[in-house]
Amino acid sequence: MPLLNGWRRSWSNMRVLVISDIHANLTALETVLADAGPVDETWCLGDVIGYGPDPNEVVERLRDLPNLSIILGNHDVAVLGQMDYAVFNNEARKSLLWQKKSVTPANMIYLENLPQDTLVRENVTLAHGSPRDPVWEYILNTLVARLNFEAFTTPFCFVGHSHIQCLFHLDVVKDRVILDIPRSGEVLKLTPRAILNPGSVGQPRDRDPRSSYAIYDPQASTWEPRRVEYDLEAVQKRIRAAGLPEKHALRLAEGW
């Protein structure tokens, strides 16, 4: 399927599903897709694999989605052999080695053809880590966010990587950056400029184990962060059956 199929359509009455950090968790992905309902496009901000037990199933499910825009995350890049495993902790390295052996040749080729750099969709820049360092940098505080506002020119930037659902808004008048943790289900009216993170589908790290994602309306310029429960015990069983690190099973239940 063409990587950028259908993205140059009219913005009128569009619903865009924004997801990130699925981390080989098919159960969470399927739950998010069902909870989101019909959408016109899906924007995936990377880290499709890593940690979880379902790398092939997740890649294949994404490949079937219409009008998908997708970029690579650091775990995806590592599985492709394009990043030193030494930068990951011991448990993450074990998972990556298992996933590298497990991913089929066809899915590896698909991943190899995805971009590592930022993508621009009309008035939004997409990055995994940050616009300044698309694969690796975390935007976790207002200082790093401020530095990154200089690295993109669009009104908005959507990022993942931190697994934390949040947004940073640049108040040009007061010359300050404001961090906000929005409530799930709250529809936010966006004003330039802002960096927004939909959180993680497959491994949230904000002490809330529910999958997180967002719905973006380009015409209305709104952002709706969402959370949804999924059968995490089923995923934990598959992690243990695959012989993956116990830490990756335990953290799902606590959201860390």
The ranges assigned to domains in the chain are: 16-254
**Half-sphere exposure at residue 60, Cβ-oriented, CA atoms within 13 angstroms:** 9
> What residues have CB less than 8 Å from 249, skipping those under 6 apart?
235, 236, 239, 240
Least confident of 85-94, 189-198, 214-223, 243-252: 85-94
- The label of the residue with tokens 């037990």 reads 53
Domain boundaries 16-254, CATH class? alpha beta
**Residue 6: what pLDDT?**
35
CB 79 within 8 A of CB 100: yes
Give the residue among 213, 199, 204 at the shortest CA–CA distance from 255.
204
Model confidence pLDDT, tens digit, residues 70-109: 999 999 999 999 988 889 999 999 999 999 999 999 999 9
**Residue 5: what pLDDT?**
33
Model confidence pLDDT, tens digit, residues 19-37: 999 999 999 999 999 999 9
- Summarize the confidence of residues 215-242 as an average pLDDT: 98
Class of residue 102 by CB neighbours under 10 A (exposed 0-12, middle 13-18, buried 19+)? middle
**Residue 12: what pLDDT?**
58
**Residue 229: what pLDDT?**
98
**Residue 8: what pLDDT?**
41
Residue 123 predicted with pLDDT over 60: yes
Higher pLDDT, 87 or 7: 87
% of the chain residues with pLDDT over 90: 92
- Summarize the confidence of residues 161-189 as an average pLDDT: 96
Give the residue among 161, 252, 202 at the shortest CA–CA distance from 59.
202
HEC-encoded secondary structure of the chain: CCCCCCCCCCCCCCCEEEECCCCCCHHHHHHHHHHHCCCCEEEECCCCCCCCCCHHHHHHHHHCCCCEEECCCHHHHHHCCCCCHHHCCHHHHHHHHHHHHHCCHHHHHHHHCCCCCCEEECCEEECCCCCCCCCCCCCCCHHHHHHHHCCCCCCEEECCCCCCCEEEEEECCCCEEEEECCCCCCCEECCCCEEEECCCCCCCCCCCCCEEEEEEECCCCEEEEEEECCCHHHHHHHHHHCCCCHHHHHHHHHCC
What's the mean per-residue pLDDT of the chain? 94
Q: Point out which residues pair with 70 in neighbouring strands.
A: 44
Residue 7 predicted with pLDDT over 60: no
**Residue 81: what pLDDT?**
93
**Residue 2: what pLDDT?**
29
- Summarize the confidence of residues 106-129 as an average pLDDT: 97
Residue 122 banded pLDDT, cuts 50, 70, 90: confident
Distance CA 231, CA 228 (A): 10
From residue 120, alpha-carbon distances to 7, 71, 83, 252 in Å are 10, 11, 24, 32
